[in-house]
């Protein structure tokens, strides 16, 4: 019996008709809502050509939107690498057999998961200079805030993924003489990362969107440059927000598509020979 048959009952004739009717009803409702929003904006003159004209000028893109997008992608790219590293390190730390490693790692993860990201950015940007007596870079204040928060969330995701790997594989690895560090590095973490790829991608999308919080500490990211600065010069805040929202959608859609490609690629490659051998050894054990 397939897993699909166990978890999902295929709809019968009545259920199919009901699904079609509900789909049509909700589709019509969404179209009606979209038309109502369009009509309300039209009444206020928000679709007028002069309000959209600045976005047809190259200077609007080269002076505001593209620099802001570059700063957003730069901070997001650095924070992604650091957050993934942070997540793997602290996930392994929380799984340590030594309490003096496990407890501090757990405290760090829980603390940074609980503190709002905006407060982290504020503290890093305004609080760290009191400790170091040196000015704090706005870029690194944003990146470190994103790293600590998203890395803590990823640490829990990795820990759950490691627990989800069949126990027989780690038992087989220990049986052939592998140390725990080798088991983590070569067996558990790679498989956990593969199985948790949807969660990782979702958190990376959240990370990209969270870069917009950097405008609070005057980081020149896409929201600051593409909405605040453009609206201040052309008086079209709604239009600027719509354009920036579309750009965020395109960026995050591209990230999701890249993750889908990576997932398909890893499926084609299949399991590494050592992992396959450990699976067979685990079955034998």
CATH label of the domain that carries residue 117:
1.10.3720.10
CB-based burial label for 144 (10 Å; 0-12, 13-18, 19+): buried
**CA-CA distance, 234 to 53, in Å (whole number)?**
10
Q: How confident is the model at residue 277 (pLDDT cuts 50, 70, 90)?
A: very low
Residues 22 and 152 in one domain: no
The mean predicted confidence, pLDDT, of the chain is: 87
Whether 200 is covered by a domain: the verdict is yes
The residues near 228 (Cβ < 8 Å, ≥ 6 apart) are 215
**CA-CA distance, 133 to 123, in Å (whole number)?**
14
Residues 25 and 82 in one domain: no
Give pLDDT tens digits for 100-138.
999 999 999 999 999 999 999 999 999 999 888 889 999
Specify the pLDDT at position 105: 94
Residues 28 and 123 in one domain: no
Q: How far from 105 is each of 57, 94, 100, 143, 226, CA to CA, in Å?
A: 51, 6, 9, 21, 39
Sign of CA dihedral 36, 55, 78, 201: positive
Residues 187 and 128 in one domain: yes
Specify the pLDDT at position 269: 61
Residues 59 and 185 in one domain: yes
Specify the pLDDT at position 274: 47
Would you say residue 182 has pLDDT above 60? yes
Residues 24 and 62 in one domain: no
Structural domains counted in the chain: 2
Residues 195 and 272 in one domain: yes
Range of the domain at 3: 1-44
Residues 103 and 29 in one domain: no
Whether 91 is covered by a domain: the verdict is yes
Would you say residue 88 has pLDDT above 70? yes
Residues 130 and 182 in one domain: yes
Specify the pLDDT at position 8: 58
Would you say residue 237 has pLDDT above 80? yes
The model's pTM is 0.82
Give pLDDT tens digits for 127-173.
999 888 889 999 999 999 999 999 999 999 989 888 888 888 888 88
Whether 1 is covered by a domain: the verdict is yes
Whether 49 is covered by a domain: the verdict is no
Are 93 and 105 spatial neighbours (Cβ–Cβ below 8 Å)? yes
Residues 9 and 85 in one domain: no
Determine phi and psi for 46, rounding to 5 degrees: -80, -10
């Amino acid at each position: 019996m397939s897993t699909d048959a166990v978890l999902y009952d295929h709809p019968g004739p009545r259920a199919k008709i009901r699904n079609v009717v509900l789909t049509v009803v909700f589709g019509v409702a969404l179209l009606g809502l979209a038309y109502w929003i369009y009509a309300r904006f039209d009444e206020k003159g928000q679709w007028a050509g002069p309000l959209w004209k600045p976005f047809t000028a190259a200077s609007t893109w080269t002076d505001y939107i593209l620099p802001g997008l570059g700063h957003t992608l730069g901070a997001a790219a650095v924070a992604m690498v650091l957050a993934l590293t942070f997540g793997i390190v602290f996930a392994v730390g929380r799984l340590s057999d030594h309490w003096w490693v496990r407890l501090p790692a757990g405290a760090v993860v829980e603390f940074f998961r609980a503190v709002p990201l905006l407060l982290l950015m504020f503290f890093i940007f305004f609080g760290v200079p009191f400790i170091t007596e040196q000015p704090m870079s706005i870029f690194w204040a944003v990146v470190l805030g994103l790293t600590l928060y998203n890395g803590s969330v990823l640490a829990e995701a990795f820990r759950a993924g490691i627990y989800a790997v069949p126990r027989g594989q780690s038992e087989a690895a220990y049986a052939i003489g592998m140390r725990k560090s080798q088991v983590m590095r070569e067996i558990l973490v790679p498989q956990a990362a593969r199985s948790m790829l949807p969660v990782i991608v979702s958190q990376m999308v959240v990370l990209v969107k969270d870069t917009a919080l950097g405008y609070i500490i005057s980081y020149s990211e896409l929201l600051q440059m593409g909405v605040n600065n453009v609206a201040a010069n052309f008086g079209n805040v709604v239009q600027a927000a719509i354009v920036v929202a579309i750009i965020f959608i395109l960026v995050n859609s591209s990230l999701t598509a890249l993750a889908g490609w990576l997932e398909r690629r890893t499926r084609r490659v299949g399991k590494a020979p050592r992992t396959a051998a450990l699976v067979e050894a685990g079955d034998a054990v």
